[in-house]
Amino acid sequence: MSSVHVAVGVILTQKKVLLAKRAQHQHQGGLWEFPGGKVEAGEHVTAALNRELKEELAINATQMQPLIQIRHDYGDKVVLLDVWTVTAFDGEPSGQEGQPLVWADLNQLIHYDFPAANRPIVSALTLPRLIAVTPSSGAKDEVLAFCQKALALGAAGFQLRSLQLGPEDINWLHSKLTELCGVPIWINSAHLFDNSGVINQALLSLAAHVHFTSRHLVQAKKVGSCIANATASCHNLEEIRAAEAAGIKAVYLSPVSATPSHPDANGLGWDAFSQLVAKAKVPVYALGGMALADLPFAQNCYAQGIAGISLFQFQP
Ligand SMILES: Nc1nc2c([nH]c(=O)n2[C@H]2C[C@H](O)[C@@H](COP(=O)(O)OP(=O)(O)OP(=O)(O)O)O2)c(=O)[nH]1
Ligand SMILES: [Mg+2]
């Protein structure tokens, strides 16, 4: 079945996002949506979005950037949601078709009933753009100093992956970081599982956010409902599909370029990276040889953002 290309606008102002209620008679009627509509033949997606936002809300979008693309099969219809964040616009939104509107808090989005295809949009809106992965050398104080520097450089999430440290030190880092900032902290599965696959329940309950290595993904069931916040490392489409099937919230795709930590691995390159992002059904982070300056480029590929260690280490 060929897909219907839909331009979707996430209209954001200071942690609030505009939702509209779909009319009962429409496809997915009665559910909340991000405003937008079908891209016409020959029309560019941003032109379509601008047109739809004028028609549905009487606003003129002046600043937009790609967020995520989702292909979803409803059975009766396949849609390609081409989702953009709109961060500046002229005019005051009002429902031009009589549709109810609401400015929802970003952290309340999980309480709204959306069409099934929208789940990854909600994930994308609540996940950070920049994740700092902690270095695999250095004592706990040095790792904490790395995290403080990363925060100053804009990191809005952490993955604790300092494999030289034991569970007590990871526990210590987790609580120090929690005191320092309110950003999400994922614990790498290598800290959670011992060699025979037994999970460290104390660390798991502390974390609630797990990052799975591709090797540990087969054990995903062991984290129960924590899976809904989990991320996973992937290197190809097969691993992305396995992560999606496990119910993971987002994936890291690597290596985009060769990195100091894996100098022998061939990079995917941005072309192959974006082709895989287009196939993924969850938000995707670029990992491997990233620099902070790569973030806008990654976002233009509809990536969620970038993750890494060295991008926070080798800054002036
Ligand atoms: N606008 C929008 N459409 C969504 C969302 N989620 C989702 O699955 N869809 C689906 C429902 C529809 O099948 C399709 C969008 O079509 P639409 O009904 O908005 O299209 P349109 O504005 O051009 O409306 P129409 O004139 O054809 O009625 O995408 C969403 O968040 N926003
Ligand atoms: Mg519409």
Structural domains of the chain sorted by starting position, each given as residue range(s) with its CATH number in brackets: 3-118 (3.90.79.10), 130-312 (3.20.20.70)
Where residue 290 falls (left for φ over 0; alpha for ψ -120 to 50; beta otherwise) is beta
pLDDT at 221: 86
pLDDT at 195: 84
Sequence-distant (6+) residues with CB within 8 A of 272 are none
Question: Which numbered ligand comes closest to the C-alpha of 125?
Answer: 1
60 belongs to an annotated ligand binding site: no
Kindly state the helix (H) or strand (E) to which residue 5 belongs, with its residue range: strand 3-13
How far, in whole angstroms, is CA 280 from its chain's centroid? 11
Give the SS3 label for residue 297: helix
pTM reported for the whole predicted model: 0.94
Low-confidence ranges of the chain (pLDDT < 70): 207, 258-265, 315-316
By percentage, how much of the chain surpasses pLDDT 70?
Answer: 97
pLDDT at 308: 96
154 belongs to an annotated ligand binding site: no
CA of 52 to the centre of ligand 1 (A): 10
Q: Residue whose CA is closest, atom 22 of ligand 1?
A: 37
Cα-based torsion angle of the residue sequence 293, 297, 300, 302 in order, rounded to the nearest 10 degrees: -90
User: Which of 19, 28, 73 to probe ligand 1 with, by most ligand atoms within 8 A of CB?
Assistant: 28
**What ipTM was reported for this prediction?**
0.95
Look up residue 221 and give its amino acid: K
pLDDT at 185: 96
Kindly state if the Cβ of 38 falls inside 6 Å of ligand 1.
yes
| Residue 262 · residue 290 · CB < 8 Å | no
Q: Pick the atom of ligand 1 nearest to 118's CA.
A: 6
71 belongs to an annotated ligand binding site: no
d(CA 154, CA 177): 15
Q: Residue whose CA is closest, atom 30 of ligand 1?
A: 33
pLDDT at 261: 65
| Residue 247 · residue 212 · CB < 8 Å | no
